[in-house]
Amino acid sequence: MLDLLIKNTAIITMAGSGVGLIPRGNIGIRGNLIEVVSDADHHMANQQAHRVIDGTNKVVLPGLIDAHIHTGIALLRGLAQDTDHWMQKALWPFAEALTPEGEMAGSLVNIIEGVKAGTTTFGDYDSSMANLLHNHDQVGTRARVAETINELPDEMKDLEVGELYPLDAAEGQSKLQSALDLFKQWHGHDNGRITCMFGPQGPDMVSKELLLEIKELATKYDTQIHMHVAQGDREIDQMTKRYGQRSISWLEELGLLDTRLLAVHLTEATDEETRLLAQRGSAMILCSGSIGIIDGIIPPAAQFLAAGGKLALGSDQAPGNNCSNMFNEMKFTAILNKCKAVDPRVFPAWKMLRLATIEGARAIGLGDQIGSLEPGKKADMIIVNLDSPALCPTIMAPVRNIVPNLVYSASGSEVETSIVDGRIIMESHKLINVDEKQAMASAREAAQTLAYRARPGKNNIAIQMMEKEQL
Amino acid sequence: MLDLLIKNTAIITMAGSGVGLIPRGNIGIRGNLIEVVSDADHHMANQQAHRVIDGTNKVVLPGLIDAHIHTGIALLRGLAQDTDHWMQKALWPFAEALTPEGEMAGSLVNIIEGVKAGTTTFGDYDSSMANLLHNHDQVGTRARVAETINELPDEMKDLEVGELYPLDAAEGQSKLQSALDLFKQWHGHDNGRITCMFGPQGPDMVSKELLLEIKELATKYDTQIHMHVAQGDREIDQMTKRYGQRSISWLEELGLLDTRLLAVHLTEATDEETRLLAQRGSAMILCSGSIGIIDGIIPPAAQFLAAGGKLALGSDQAPGNNCSNMFNEMKFTAILNKCKAVDPRVFPAWKMLRLATIEGARAIGLGDQIGSLEPGKKADMIIVNLDSPALCPTIMAPVRNIVPNLVYSASGSEVETSIVDGRIIMESHKLINVDEKQAMASAREAAQTLAYRARPGKNNIAIQMMEKEQL
C-alpha cells in the first residue's frame, strides 16, 4: 500500500541527461521514499494508496534546491542594496542590531517564503544555526547547513573600508566549538533530513591554522566545507594585504581545493582560478540575484561548467537579492549569462532546471538522495498548478513548452503542494506546520524594534536615500 | 461623496522627483479621478464614500505600465527561446499557424496575467488590434495600442536567414488602412481608456514612402509612432543591405526622430545613436527580459537616460521573455544594468519604480493622466498586500524598505486589487470582468490545435530539443 499517489499528472523526473519529462503519468510514495514513477495508467491498476492526489493540469517536479541562503539575516530585507561597499556600509549597521529572537523571526519568514516558491532544500548558513534549525525542523524542510566560523571580533562597525580585519584565534576556536556542537545535536537528524557542513566564512576571515583544522574535521565527519570564496573585491583586497596572495591560490597552497569544497560566489575569480577549482572537483554555488545587486557582477559560472564543475544555485540573503525564490534565480541566471556571453543559446531552460534540482543536489553532496524523481530516492517534490495565466497554455504534443514556461515565466506562486521526505509540508499554497500570519506578525514587530535599535545616523545610506525621497 | 476611499494605507504616490511615499494615509476616488491623497487621518474626517477599503498592511501605488507587449502571440508562450535567429527559426514557424481565434484566446490570458501582476496600462502592439481591443475593453485595462504596419507579404517562412525581405506597397497600404480603421473605431474609447498610436513594425519592414506617410498621419492625429528600432542584428543587416544605412541615421534623414517617436528596443543602437534619439526628444521602451532571452543583449538604456531621454519598460511577448510581469521587468532591468555598468549603485529600486509608473507614463504620452497618485489624475492604481512573506518585514521608521522590497522581492502575486479609470477590475487577486478559468481552458485548446497545425518538422529547433529530452 502506497502512502501517497499522484495520478494523471505531468512529471519532470530530471532523470537522465535532460529533463526526463513524462507527459502523463503517476508517482507513488511509500514512507519517505519514491516507490514508483510510471508513464502509463495501467501500470498503476493494482496500486492502492492512503491518499490520492489528482494531477490533472499539474506538473510534479523535484523540490528546488536553494544551496546557499542566510535565513538568519532576513529581518534586514530591503535595508541593504543599491550601494557600493554593501557589507560595510549597508549590511553591518543593521546586522549588528540583530538579536537571536530577531534572527529566528526573520529566518522563519524566509523559510516560508522559499517553500511557497518551491524550495524544499535549504543550504542555510549562519552563526546561530543551532537556533535556526528549530525553524527548519518545525516547517519540515530539508536543510544542509553550516555554522559560520570566523575569527572576527564582534565589533566590526568601526572598521574603515579597506582596513585589515583583526583576526582573533580564540574567537575562531569558540565558533569552531559551536560548529562541533551543531554536528552533535543535529547532523543526521530526522532520518537525515538535516545534515551539517563546516562553514568557514571566507579565506580572508579565518587564519591558516583554523582552515587546516577545519579541513581535517571535514574529513573526519565526511562532510563538505561550505565557504565564500573570492566573493568580492573586499575579500581579494584583504587576502593580498594579509598574505600577498589571491584567495584561490591560497586555498590551493593549503590543500583546500578538493571534492569537499563547496565554494560560494567566485565573484572575483579569474577564468584560470575558476577552471582550477572545477578541475580539483570542488563545487560552486552561484547566487545570481544577490551578486548582481550587491556587486553588479555576473560570476564565472559558464567557465566553471565548461571545465566540468558541479554547480548549484543559491538565493543568498534577503538584504541584497532581496527574495529567496529559485524560479527567480533560474530565470536571472539564464538571462544574465546569455547577456554575458552575448549568446541566447547558452544557459537554456532545461539546464537551469537541472542546476536547481539534480545538478544542485550533486554539488551539495545529496545527488544520490534527492534532485530527481526516481524509485528509491527520497520523496522531495513539488506540485505546480499549470492552470495559472503565466504558465498558460501548456502544450504537450507535438512540441512541448512546459520547461521553458516554468523557468522563464513561473513566479513561484504557482507551487501548490510541497513534499519533503515523504511528508506534505505545504498544500493549497499554505504551509502545514507553521502559522504564516503569526510568523509575519512576529517578524514585523522584531524588525521595527531592530530598526530603532540600530539607530541609523545621517551617514547611513538608507537615511540619506530617505531624505531624497528615494525610499 | 467619494466613490471609493482606501484608508490607513501606505501610499507610494510617485509625485515629485522620488517615490513620494506616505507611510500612512488615505486616498479617495470620485468617478474616474483621484480626488484626494492625504497623509493624515483628520483630513478625511468629513469624507464619506460609497465603498471603503481598509489599507492596513497594504500599500497603494500607481498601476504599472507595460509599454510594449504583443498579447496577440501569447498562445506561443514557451515555444521560442534559447536559440539564435529567434524570429525566423523559432517564432515564425508557429506564428504563421495562428488564427484570429487563437490570437484572441492567447491575448486574453496574457492580459489576465499582466493584471494579476499589477499592470494596468498595456502598450499592446499587433496586426489584429481591432480584435484584441475587445479583450482590453472587456477586462477593463487601459490600452494604448498600435496596429502593426509593414509591407511584408504573408509568406515569410521560406525566407533564408539573411535574405532581404520583399516589400509590397499594396500590403503596406492595406495595413495602413487597418490602422486608420482602428483609429476610427477605438481612439478615445471609453473616456480615453483606449487610445491608438501608429505602429510601423520597423524601419526595415516599411518603405521610405510609407514611413513618411505615417509621419504625416501621426501629426494629423496628434499621436505617437510606436516602432521597433535597431531591434537586432537582423534589422541592421536588412537596413544596410537595402539602404546602405543603419536604422537611426535613416530615421534621422527621414525626419522621424522627434517627440512623436516611441522607439522600442534599440538593441543594436550605438551610444552615439542612442544619445541622438534622446536629444531629439524621442522616447525609448526597454524590454529587458525579452531582449536578454532573445538576443543576450542589455540595451543602452543607461546611455539613453544619461542623455535625458524618456524611458518606459515593456514585457514584449510570451514566446521569448516568457512572462508579462512588470515586477520581474523592474528587477531584471536593475540587475542587468548594474552588471553592464559593474556598479551596484546604478538603476536603484526607486528609479525602477519610476520607470514602471510616472516616467513610463510620460514616455508613452500619458504623463498628465496617469503614473502618479495625485488629485486630478485618473484613478489607475494597485493595492499590494504587504502581509506576504517576500515583502516581510515592512519597516516604516526610522528607515524604510518598502520600495526595494517591491522592486527586488515582489513576485507580482502580492497584488490584491487593481483599479483602472476609477473602476475595480481585480479584487482578492481575482479578475472581475472575465472568467479566468474559462479563458485558460480556451487558450489551452487553441494552443493544442495550433501546435498540430504548425506541423513542426525535424528541422524545428523545439522538435530537436525534445529529441534530446531538453523539453
Is B338 in contact with A293 (Cβ distance < 8 A)?
yes
Nearest neighbour of A444 by CB, restricted to B75, B346, B393: B393
Chain A residues touching B91 at Cβ < 8 A: none
* Shortest distance, CA A260 to any CA of chain B (angstroms): 30
Nearest neighbour of B440 by CB, restricted to A79, A387, A447: A387
Among residues A455, A449, A443, the alpha carbon closest in space to that of A107 is found at A443
Same structural domain, B262 and B320? yes
pLDDT (tens digit, 9 = 90+) per residue, A305-352? 999 999 999 999 999 999 999 999 999 999 999 999 999 999 999 999
Q: In what order do the strands lie in the sheet with A142-149?
A: A64-69, A119-126, A142-149, A194-200, A225-229, A261-265, A283-286, A310-313
Chain B residues touching A106 at Cβ < 8 A: 393
pLDDT (tens digit, 9 = 90+) per residue, A165-213? 899 999 999 999 999 999 999 999 999 999 999 999 999 999 999 999 9
Is B389 in contact with A462 (Cβ distance < 8 A)?
no
Is A297 in contact with B343 (Cβ distance < 8 A)?
no
Do B404 and A322 meet the contact criterion of CB atoms below 8 Å apart?
Answer: yes
Decide if A86 is inside a domain. yes
Q: Give chain A's mean pLDDT.
A: 95
Give the model's pLDDT for residue B45: 61
pLDDT tops 80 at residue A463 = yes
Q: Which of A110-114, A376-380, A457-461, B313-317 has the lowest mean pLDDT?
A: A457-461
Give the model's pLDDT for residue B88: 85
pLDDT (tens digit, 9 = 90+) per residue, A51-104? 999 999 999 999 999 999 999 999 999 999 999 989 888 998 999 999 999 999
Decide if A467 is inside a domain. no
Same structural domain, A28 and A38? yes
Residues whose CB falls within 8 Å of the CB of residue A78, separated by 6 or more in sequence, listed in order? A318, A319, A322, B395, B401, B402, B403, B404, B405, B408, B409
SS3 content of chain B, % helix, strand, coil (to 5): 40, 20, 35
Residues B324, B321: Cα–Cα separation, whole Å: 8
Query: What Å distances lie between residue B444 and A237, B31, B74, B462, CA to CA?
Result: 55, 37, 11, 18
Q: Which of A363, A382, A415 is the last residue of a domain?
A: A363
Is A344 in contact with B83 (Cβ distance < 8 A)?
yes
Same structural domain, A276 and A291? yes
Is A470 in contact with B339 (Cβ distance < 8 A)?
no
Query: What Å distances lie between residue A339 and A169, A259, B270, B315, CA to CA?
Result: 44, 30, 17, 17
- 3-class SS string, B406-428: HHHCCCCCCEEEEEECCEEEEEC
Nearest neighbour of B339 by CB, restricted to A17, A75, A292: A292
- Structure letter (DSSP) for residue B150: -
Same structural domain, B34 and B16? yes
Question: Residue for cell digits 529567496?
Answer: A324
Phi and psi for B470 in degrees, rounded to 5? -100, 0
Chain B residues touching A340 at Cβ < 8 A: 339
Give the model's pLDDT for residue A61: 98
Decide the pairing of beta strands A2-12 and A21-30: antiparallel
Is A399 in contact with B79 (Cβ distance < 8 A)?
yes
Is B392 in contact with A443 (Cβ distance < 8 A)?
yes
Same structural domain, B26 and B71? no
| Identity of the residue numbered B11 | I
DSSP H/E element including B39:
none
Residues B199, B227: Cα–Cα separation, whole Å: 6
- A296 is in which domain, residue-wise? 64-363
Residues B257, A115: Cα–Cα separation, whole Å: 50
pLDDT (tens digit, 9 = 90+) per residue, A202-245? 999 999 999 999 999 999 999 999 999 999 888 999 999 999 99
Residue of A nearest to B455 (CA): A398
Q: Render A343-368 in DSSP notation, one character per residue.
A: -TTSS-HHHHHHHHTHHHHHHTT-TT
Nearest neighbour of A79 by CB, restricted to B110, B401, B409: B401
Residue of B nearest to A109 (CA): B389
Decide if B444 is inside a domain. no
Chain A residues touching B19 at Cβ < 8 A: 469-471
Same structural domain, B44 and B191? no
Residue of B nearest to A406 (CA): B78
Same structural domain, A114 and A161? yes
Peptide bond into A299 cis (omega under 30): no
Is A393 in contact with B444 (Cβ distance < 8 A)?
yes
Decide if B439 is inside a domain. no
Is A83 in contact with B401 (Cβ distance < 8 A)?
no
Chain A residues touching B110 at Cβ < 8 A: 389
Residues in chain A: 471
Decide if A354 is inside a domain. yes
Among residues A460, A319, A415, A400, the alpha carbon closest in space to that of A24 is found at A400
Same structural domain, A14 and A73? no
CATH code at B403?
2.30.40.10
Residues whose CB falls within 8 Å of the CB of residue B406, separated by 6 or more in sequence, listed in order? B12, B59, B61, B327, B349, B353, B384, B391
Same structural domain, A69 and A54? no
- Taken in order A150, A156, A162, A163, the sign of the CA dihedral is negative
Residues whose CB falls within 8 Å of the CB of residue A152, separated by 6 or more in sequence, listed in order? A165, A166, A167, A168, A171, A201, A205
Chain B residues touching A388 at Cβ < 8 A: 440
Give the model's pLDDT for residue B285: 98
Is B292 in contact with A339 (Cβ distance < 8 A)?
yes
% of chain A at pLDDT higher than 90: 91
Give the model's pLDDT for residue B163: 85
Residues A440, A318: Cα–Cα separation, whole Å: 14
Give the model's pLDDT for residue B156: 62
Q: Which of A303, A332, A363 is the last residue of a domain?
A: A363
pLDDT tops 70 at residue A157 = no
B208-221 and B169-186 helices, crossing angle to 10°: 10
* CA A28 to centroid of chain Cα atoms: 27
Same structural domain, B175 and B275? yes
Decide if B47 is inside a domain. yes
* Shortest distance, CA A291 to any CA of chain B (angstroms): 9
DSSP H/E element including B60:
strand B58-62
Give the model's pLDDT for residue A45: 61
Question: Residue for cell digits 544594468?
Answer: B337
Same structural domain, A113 and A42? no
Decide if B408 is inside a domain. yes
CATH code at B179?
3.20.20.140
Same structural domain, A123 and A245? yes
pLDDT (tens digit, 9 = 90+) per residue, A3-59? 999 999 999 999 999 999 999 999 999 999 999 999 876 666 667 999 999 999 999
Chain A residues touching B470 at Cβ < 8 A: 18-19, 348, 350, 403
Residue of B nearest to A298 (CA): B339
- Structure letter (DSSP) for residue B13: -
Task: Report residue A282 as a C-alpha cell.
Answer: 570542488
Chain A residues touching B346 at Cβ < 8 A: 296
Mean predicted confidence (pLDDT) in A128-154: 95
From first to last of its 471 residues, what are the pLDDT tens digits of chain B? 999 999 999 999 999 999 999 999 999 999 999 999 998 766 666 678 999 999 999 999 999 999 999 999 999 999 999 999 898 889 989 999 999 999 999 999 999 999 999 999 999 999 999 999 999 999 999 999 999 999 998 766 567 778 898 999 999 999 999 999 999 999 999 999 999 999 999 999 999 999 999 999 999 999 999 999 999 888 999 999 999 999 999 999 999 999 999 999 999 999 999 999 999 999 999 999 999 999 999 999 999 999 999 999 999 999 999 999 999 999 999 999 999 999 999 999 999 999 999 999 999 999 999 999 999 999 999 999 999 999 999 999 999 999 999 999 999 999 999 999 999 999 999 999 999 999 999 999 999 999 999 998 888 999 999 999 999
Do B421 and B139 meet the contact criterion of CB atoms below 8 Å apart?
Answer: no
Q: Count how many domains chain B has.
A: 2
Decide the pairing of beta strands A119-126 and A64-69: parallel
Nearest neighbour of A341 by CB, restricted to B296, B452, B456: B296
* Shortest distance, CA B444 to any CA of chain A (angstroms): 5
Nearest neighbour of B469 by CB, restricted to A20, A331, A335: A20
Decide if B295 is inside a domain. yes
pTM above 0.95, yes or no: yes
